[in-house]
Amino acid sequence: MPEETKYEKSERERSESVNKILTSTSSKKVVVAGPGTGKTFLFKEVLKNKSNTLTLTFVNSLVEDLSLELYGMSDVKTLHSYARGMLAKLTNSEINVFHKFSRIVKEDAKILLNEDIDFSKLFHERDDDNEHLKFFKKRRDYYNYYGYSSIIYAIVKYFEKYKDKVPVYEQILIDEFQDFNLLEVSLIDLLAEKSPILVAGDDDQALYVFKSAKTKYIRERYNGEIPEYEAFTLPYCSRCTNVIVDATNDLINEAKKLGLLNGRIEKEFKYFNDEKKDKICELYPKITYAQVFDRQIPWFIEKSIKELVKQERKSFTVLIISPYKMQSQTIANNLMVKGLQNIDFVIKDEDDINILDGFKLLIENKNDNLGWRIVTKFIIPEEEFKSLISETEAQPDKQIKNLITKEYKDKVSCIYKVLKYVKEDKPIKKEDFDIATSTLDISSYSIIKEYLSKQIDNNNIRTGDPALRKLPIKSTTIQSSKGLAADIVFITHFDDRYFIKDKNITDQDICNFLVAITRTRNKLFLISSLKEEPTFLKWLDKDRYEKVTD
């Protein structure tokens, strides 16, 4: 028999890892799968020849990707969209969901109870006996809305009361389980009572501690603390180059030496030997580290992309990851000024409520009580608004539009009409347009200036390098990079100030950086904006990176 090549060995061992999962007769499986280790391929194999299946995650970008990959094989949903659809079906009623609803009730509680209450946390941590949940229910009934956390809570409570209503599936798949909180795990456990289930995730990629997510849920299933789960791993990474895989292991090993990542699931993370990928590894054998002044970061990125274009002579994808939204937005804007036109600024929805949130609801339904509540906050004086909220508590049978003066009602109606006409591309009266733009804090001058600027640019020769104009570039933050990957990745502001939140390094800091670097398919750039060498760079073997100076 001829000796097995390294490629044949990697292929055989990867197939063996997948086959162990596929041939297992256990109805409950937990799969620990690092970045790029073939989780989606596994999902496809698990779903083969099955019809009534369900795939759940909580990241919208992952839902979109999985929906495409698993098209026709599984119903792919976020947890809250599944809860909404199921509750509507079981109660035979219309269910309204506004993703910032917990924030609305929090504002109401500050006015009505003079207390600062984190309602999302109450739901996430299943604080079922907390007296403030009664207040939340009253406000929910008044506005006739749920939030993301409260809709999941509602279906969990329903299933716990009516176990016979829990649906049965031929197979359930759960993605990103390391970022689930107790409420979400409660839903998964209820579904697992009736159907075969496979939960997948990686405790090294935990990002969502802010929503009370805990890695213990995937760890206790993997470690046998919940014995009905059979544990598996997918060790081979086919996304990243060898140097990225090695750098990832450097970081994990150094963290463990320092007593960090306690309780971490021990698993292998290996480079998948592939002839095509090996050539990419030869082309990009090292990570590039650069120290660049903050204001010069866009220039450095453009310069690096130009050099890569000369080398590649074909299109490639670029992902720019920054610690904060403002940094990400600034870099995206500066690159667009330089003539790079195909830039996508990717940031997840924020908690802050703005006036357009309300008008979006009103455009769908001009009598929407929550829509009126949101826009009214931005139109009437603060003290009047507080009195209005108090009045809704005293007169819960009256909607907000019937509690405000005609003057305010007319103003809302005027802006509503302008926005609706904009949507329908209808002519708008100048006086109505002026009222709308001034209330929405939009300068007519800036709109006209931007329009004229674009028109003038359209008649001139395009700026920037034509080879770079259409390169697909995404600029985002670490948390919003979850589910993304690109050929070339730039991690900006790679400094302890931004990557180590406190003086002492935490597991969360490590996980954030691991997620960021493993978005890389081919080449990684680490860009510091300060002179001090970053701590995480010191954790890497010096052979893994090259320093560049300009």
Give residue 97's pLDDT.
97
How does strand 473-477 pair with strand 486-491? unpaired
Give residue 312's pLDDT.
84
Q: Which of 227, 248, 240, 306 is nearest to 274 (CA)?
A: 240
Tokens representing 7 are 């490629």
Please count the CA atoms within 13 angstroms of the CA of 294 that sit on its side-chain side: 10
Give residue 540's pLDDT.
98
d(CA 69, CA 348): 22
Give residue 26's pLDDT.
97
* 13 contacts 37 by C-beta, under 8 angstroms: no
Residues 6 or more apart whose CB falls under 8 angstroms from that of 126 comprise: 182, 183, 186
Per-residue pLDDT of the chain (550 residues; tens, 9 = 90+): 578 899 999 999 999 999 999 999 999 999 999 999 999 999 999 999 999 999 998 766 667 667 667 767 788 899 999 999 999 999 999 999 999 999 999 999 999 999 999 999 999 999 999 999 999 999 999 999 999 999 999 999 999 999 999 999 999 999 999 999 999 999 999 999 999 999 999 999 998 888 899 999 999 999 999 999 999 999 999 999 999 999 999 999 999 999 999 999 999 999 999 999 999 999 999 999 999 999 999 999 999 999 999 888 888 999 999 999 999 999 999 998 888 878 888 766 566 899 999 999 999 999 999 999 999 999 999 999 999 999 999 999 999 999 999 999 999 999 988 888 888 888 888 887 877 777 777 665 555 555 555 555 555 445 667 778 788 999 999 988 988 999 999 999 999 999 998 888 999 999 999 999 999 999 999 999 999 999 999 999 999 999 997 6
* 209 contacts 511 by C-beta, under 8 angstroms: no
CA angle at 341 for the pair 338 and 344, rounded to the nearest 5°: 115
Residue carrying the six token digits 């060498």: 533
Give residue 242's pLDDT.
97
Residues 6 or more apart whose CB falls under 8 angstroms from that of 542 comprise: none
Q: Which of 308, 273, 291 is nearest to 522 (CA)?
A: 308
Q: Residue 97's beta-bridge partner residues? A: 146
H or E stretch including 18?
helix 6-23
Give residue 448's pLDDT.
58
DSSP state of 434: H
Give residue 178's pLDDT.
95
Residues 6 or more apart whose CB falls under 8 angstroms from that of 308 comprise: 316, 488, 523
Q: Which of 152, 209, 198 is nearest to 175 (CA)?
A: 198
